[in-house]
C-alpha cells in the first residue's frame, strides 16, 4: 500500500509516494534520483549510505523513510553552495582522497558532521569520526589528511591548486586533481547501480 | 534487499505503544533505533506485520540525575550515553561501554532500551548495568513494574518482558565514592565489531580492603553472566594486582563460551582472565576516596 509523505531534504520539501517498508535509502535513490547516497552493505555497517539527520550521521539503509518525516535530512547533493564546492569537498579533491569514489559521499557526510561540531578535530577524532565508513581501496591516509586540512578551503571562492591551469591546459609536470574528482565528491558520478532506464531489466546472480 | 509488507503505527506515548502491541499481538514489534530490527526485517530473520514506532514519543531520551539516582530514558541514543557529562562523571564505565559499540552512525540511532531489550549475548551495555545494579522500569497495559536487571535476561534474545511490555527507563543508584566500576571489551577491530568478550567489574573498598565486588561477563554465555566465585574471592582482600589476577583466573573457569567466527572457546577463556584483571584495576583506580586514612 502506498502513502504520500513529506521529507525535508537539503532544505526542500519533497512529497513522495512510498511504501511503509521503503528505507530512506530506497526513497532517496529510487524515488528522488539522489543516487549520491550509495548502496553498499544495505545492513548499516559500511557507511556508504550515510546521510545527516538533524545534525547526526545515520545509515539511510536501515531507516524506514516514514519515520524521518519532519526531520532535516542532508545528503551529499546538498552540501555544496550553488556551484562552489563545500570546503571539505575541495579538500578531498586537492588531497586526492578519492580512488574508486564509492565510499566518498559517505565519508564526506561523516566528515561534514564532524567538523560542523568540532571545526578543529585531532587526527584521532577524525579517525573516530570516520570509523563508520569503510573504504575498500584502502585510501584512509589521504582521507584523514583531507579532513585535517579542510580549513584551508574555508574562504569562499578558495581554489584547488592548479584549478585555473586545468582550463589553460598547463598541466604538464604538475600534480592535478583526478579528472572525475568533482563528480565523485558531489555524488554525481554514476556507478552501475545508479543507472535507470525505462523498462530496465535487472539481473541477479543466484548462487547455490 | 527489500522488507516484506509492513504497516507502521506511530505511538503517541508509551501507553499507546503498549496497547498497539497488545492489539496486534505476535504480528507486532516495537521499533526504537531500528539498528537491529530493520536489519532483521531486511534479512527476513524476523517477520512482523505491524511495527509500532516509538521514535515520536517525547521525553524518553533524557538522562537525569535525581536524588542520587541516574534516570536514563529508554530512547537515549548510544551516542548520548557515550557523550553525556552526567554519565561520564557518575558512571564512566557505561559511557565507555557505549562508545565501543558499532559505528558513529549506529550509535546515533541505536538506543539503550533497544540494546537491553534485544538481549543479544554479546551486547555491551548489560554487563555494566548488571554490575551497577540497574533497575529496568517498564510499562504495559497491566501497569508499570520495576525489574532488577539481574532478573531480566533469560536467554539469547530472551527477556522477562511481556509481549506488550516496554522499557520506559533505566535507573541506577549513583555508586558511592568508595566504589569504582569499569568495562573492558576485546573486539577484532576498533569499529563495527561485536565483543569477543566483555567484562564489567565493580569494587567497593573500605578501610583498605574490598568489601564488595561484582564481575559480570558478556559474550561468553547465553546471557550476561555474574562470575560469582571470582567476585567472592575478592571480598576481604587488598585491592592489588595479585587479588585481581587471581579473580581473573577464577572467572576463566566460570565463563561458558562457545567457539564462533570471532574466537575459539579457549581464546575466550584466556580473554576472560585478562579482561577481568584489567577491569578490576581500572575500577580500583576510579575509587575516589582514599581507602586508608593518612597519618600526619
Residue-by-residue DSSP string for B193-245: ---SEEEEEEEEEETTEEEEEEEEEESSSSS-EE-HHHHHHHTTS-SSHHHHH
Measured between beta carbons, which residues in chain B are less than 8 angstroms from residue A110? 104-105
End-of-domain residue from the set B173, B208, B235:
B173
Q: What is the pLDDT of residue B1?
A: 82
**Confidence bin at A208 (pLDDT 50/70/90):** confident
User: Do B46 and B91 fall into the same domain?
Assistant: no
Measured between beta carbons, which residues in chain B are less than 8 angstroms from residue A128? 104
Tell me if A62 and B43 make a contact (CB, 8 A cut-off). Answer: no
Q: What is the pLDDT of residue B37?
A: 97
Interface-testing mutation among A51, A67, A108, A125, with chain B (most B C-beta atoms within 10 A): A67
Tell me if A44 and B5 make a contact (CB, 8 A cut-off). Answer: no
Q: What is the pLDDT of residue B195?
A: 94
Measured between beta carbons, which residues in chain A are less than 8 angstroms from residue B102? 132
CATH number, position B27: 3.30.43.10
* Residue B58 touches chain A, beta carbons under 8 Å: no
Measured between beta carbons, which residues in chain B are less than 8 angstroms from residue A21? 2-6, 41
Measured between beta carbons, which residues in chain A are less than 8 angstroms from residue B39? 43-44, 62
* Residue B65 touches chain A, beta carbons under 8 Å: no
The closest of B128, B129, B287, B119 to B199, measured between CA atoms, is B128
> What are phi and psi for residue B170, nearest 5 degrees?
-120, 130
Tell me if B105 and A57 make a contact (CB, 8 A cut-off). Answer: yes
End-of-domain residue from the set B173, B191, B215:
B173
End-of-domain residue from the set B150, B173, B196:
B173
User: Do B187 and B90 fall into the same domain?
Assistant: no
Lookup: cell for B272: 576472560
Kindly tell me if the per-residue pLDDT of A169 is higher than 80: no
Domain extent listing, chain A = 2-78, 87-186
- A192–chain B nearest CA distance, Å: 17
pLDDT, tens digit, 9 for 90 and up, residues A53-97: 999 999 999 999 999 999 999 999 999 987 889 999 999 999 999
Identity of the residue in B34, B43, B192 whose CB atom sits nearest the CB atom of A132: B192
Tell me if B2 and A58 make a contact (CB, 8 A cut-off). Answer: no
The closest of B124, B132, B116 to B100, measured between CA atoms, is B124
Measured between beta carbons, which residues in chain B are less than 8 angstroms from residue A202? none
- B34–chain A nearest CA distance, Å: 7
Identity of the residue in B38, B39, B104 whose CB atom sits nearest the CB atom of A132: B104
Identity of the residue in A56, A67, A131 whose CB atom sits nearest the CB atom of B55: A67
Q: What is the pLDDT of residue B291?
A: 47
Measured between beta carbons, which residues in chain B are less than 8 angstroms from residue A44? 35, 38-39, 105-106, 109
Domain count, chain B: 3
Q: Report chain A residues touching chain B, CB-CB < 8 A.
A: 1, 19-21, 23, 42-45, 47, 50, 56-59, 62-64, 66-67, 110, 128-129, 131-132, 134
User: Do B38 and B82 fall into the same domain?
Assistant: no
Residue with cell 579542510: A150
Identity of the residue in B8, B104, B108 whose CB atom sits nearest the CB atom of A20: B8
Kindly tell me if the per-residue pLDDT of A16 is higher than 60: yes
User: Do B154 and B71 fall into the same domain?
Assistant: yes
Interface pTM, i.e. ipTM = 0.94
* Residue B7 touches chain A, beta carbons under 8 Å: yes
Tell me if B38 and A129 make a contact (CB, 8 A cut-off). Answer: no
Q: What is the pLDDT of residue A166?
A: 66
User: Do B144 and B82 fall into the same domain?
Assistant: yes
Searching chain A, which residue's CA lies closest to the CA of residue B80? A56
Q: State the SS3 of chain A.
A: CEEEEEEEECCEEEEEEEECCCEHHHHHHHHCCCCCCCCCCCCCCCCCCEEEECCEEEEHHHCEHHHHCCCEEECHHHCCECCECCHHHHHHHHHCCCCCCCCHHHHHHHHHHHHHHCCCCCHHHHHHHCCCCCCCCCCHHHHHHHHHCHHHHCCCCCCCCCHHHHHCCCCCCCCCCCCCHHHHHHCCCCCHHHCCCCCCCCCCCCCC
pLDDT, tens digit, 9 for 90 and up, residues A98-152: 999 999 999 999 999 999 999 999 999 999 999 999 999 977 999 999 999 999 9
Q: At what angle do helices A140-148 and A87-95 cross, to 10 degrees?
A: 140
Kindly tell me if the per-residue pLDDT of A174 is higher than 90: no
Edge to edge, the sheet with strand B197-206 lists B179-186, B197-206, B209-218, B225-226
Tell me if B38 and A56 make a contact (CB, 8 A cut-off). Answer: no
- B13–chain A nearest CA distance, Å: 15
Kindly tell me if the per-residue pLDDT of A158 is higher than 80: no
* Domain assignment of residue B187, given as a range: 179-285
User: Do B221 and B137 fall into the same domain?
Assistant: no
Measured between beta carbons, which residues in chain B are less than 8 angstroms from residue A57? 104-105, 108
Q: What is the pLDDT of residue B228?
A: 98
Searching chain B, which residue's CA lies closest to the CA of residue A19? B5
Q: What is the pLDDT of residue B292?
A: 52
Low-confidence ranges of chain B (pLDDT < 70): 289-296
User: Do B117 and B79 fall into the same domain?
Assistant: yes
Burial class (CB in 10 A: 0-12, 13-18, 19+), B207: exposed
Q: What is the pLDDT of residue A190?
A: 96
Supply the CATH classification number for the domain A2-78.
Answer: 3.10.20.30
- pTM, full prediction: 0.94
Contact (CB, 8 A) for B189 and B101 = no
Residue B295 lies in a domain: no
- Domain A87-186: CATH superfamily is [2Fe-2S]-binding domain (1.10.150.120)
- B114–chain A nearest CA distance, Å: 15
Residue B296 lies in a domain: no
Is residue B59 classed as helix, strand or coil in its secondary structure? coil
Contact (CB, 8 A) for A189 and A108 = no
Residue B249 lies in a domain: yes
The closest of B263, B264, B274, B161 to B217, measured between CA atoms, is B274
Average pLDDT, chain B: 95
Amino acid at each position: 500500500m502506498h502513502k504520500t509523505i513529506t521529507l525535508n531534504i537539503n532544505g526542500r520539501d519533497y512529497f513522495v509516494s512510498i511504501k511503509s517498508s521503503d528505507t530512506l535509502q530506497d526513497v532517496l535513490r529510487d524515488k528522488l534520483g539522489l543516487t549520491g547516497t550509495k548502496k553498499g552493505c544495505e545492513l548499516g555497517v559500511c557507511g556508504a549510505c550515510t546521510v545527516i539527520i538533524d545534525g547526526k550521521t545515520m545509515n539511510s539503509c536501515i531507516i524506514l523513510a516514514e519515520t524521518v518525516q519532519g526531520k532535516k535530512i542532508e545528503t551529499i547533493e546538498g552540501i555544496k553552495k550553488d556551484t562552489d564546492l563545500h570546503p571539505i569537498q575541495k579538500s578531498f579533491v586537492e588531497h586526492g582522497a578519492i580512488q574508486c569514489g564509492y565510499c566518498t559521499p559517505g565519508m564526506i557526510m561523516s566528515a561534514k558532521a564532524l567538523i560542523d561540531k568540532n571545526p578543529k578535530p585531532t587526527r584521532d577524532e577524525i579517525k573516530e569520526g570516520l570509523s563508520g565508513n569503510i573504504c575498500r581501496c584502502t585510501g584512509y591516509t589521504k582521507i584523514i589528511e583531507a579532513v585535517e586540512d579542510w580549513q584551508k578551503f574555508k574562504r569562499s571562492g578558495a581554489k584547488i591548486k592548479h584549478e585555473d591551469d586545468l582550463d589553460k591546459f598547463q598541466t604538464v609536470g604538475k600534480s592535478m586533481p583526478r579528472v572525475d574528482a568533482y563528480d565523485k565528491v558531489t555524488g554525481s558520478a554514476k556507478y552501475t547501480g545508479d543507472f535507470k532506464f525505462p523498462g530496465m531489466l535487472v539481473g541477479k546472480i543466484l548462487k547455490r | 534487499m527489500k522488507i516484506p509488507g509492513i504497516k507502521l503505527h506511530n505511538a503517541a506515548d508509551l501507553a499507546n505503544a503498549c496497547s498497539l502491541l497488545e492489539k496486534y499481538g505476535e504480528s507486532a514489534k516495537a521499533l526504537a533505533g531500528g539498528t537491529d530490527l530493520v536489519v532483521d526485517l531486511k534479512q527476513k530473520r524476523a517477520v512482523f506485520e505491524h511495527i509500532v514506532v516509538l521514535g515520536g514519543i517525547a521525553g524518553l531520551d533524557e538522562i537525569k540525575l535525581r536524588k542520587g539516582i541516574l534516570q536514563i530514558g529508554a530512547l537515549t541514543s548510544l551516542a548520548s550515553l557515550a557523550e553525556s557529562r552526567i554519565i561520564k562523571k557518575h558512571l564512566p564505565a557505561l559511557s565507555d561501554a557505549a562508545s565501543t559499540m558499532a559505528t558513529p552512525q549506529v550509535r546515533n540511532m541505536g538506543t539503550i532500551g533497544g540494546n537491553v531489550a534485544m538481549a543479544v549475548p554479546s551486547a555491551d551495555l548489560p554487563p555494566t548495568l548488571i554490575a551497577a545494579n540497574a533497575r529496568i522500569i517498564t510499562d504495559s497495559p497491566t501497569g508499570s513494574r520495576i525489574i532488577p536487571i539481574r532478573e531480566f535476561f533469560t536467554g539469547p534474545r530472551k527477556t522477562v518482558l511481556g509481549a506488550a511490555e516496554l522499557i520506559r527507563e533505566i535507573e541506577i543508584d549513583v555508586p558511592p565514592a568508595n566504589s569504582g566500576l569499569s568495562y573492558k571489551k576485546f573486539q577484532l577491530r576498533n569499529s563495527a565489531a561485536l565483543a569477543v568478550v566483555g567484562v564489567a567489574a565493580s569494587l567497593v573498598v573500605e578501610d583498605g580492603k574490598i568489601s564488595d565486588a561484582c564481575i559480570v561477563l558478556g559474550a561468553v554465555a547465553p546471557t550476561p553472566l555474574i562470575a560469582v566465585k571470582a567476585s567472592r574471592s575478592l571480598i576481604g582482600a587488598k585491592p592489588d594486582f595479585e587479588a585481581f589476577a587471581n579473580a581473573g583466573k577464577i572467572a576463566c573457569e566460570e565463563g561458558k563460551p562457545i567457539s564462533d567466527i570471532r574466537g575459539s572457546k579457549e581464546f575466550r577463556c584466556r580473554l576472560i582472565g585478562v579482561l577481568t584483571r584489567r577491569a578490576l584495576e581500572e575500577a580500583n583506580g576510579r575509587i575516589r576516596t582514599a581507602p586508608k586514612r593518612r597519618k600526619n
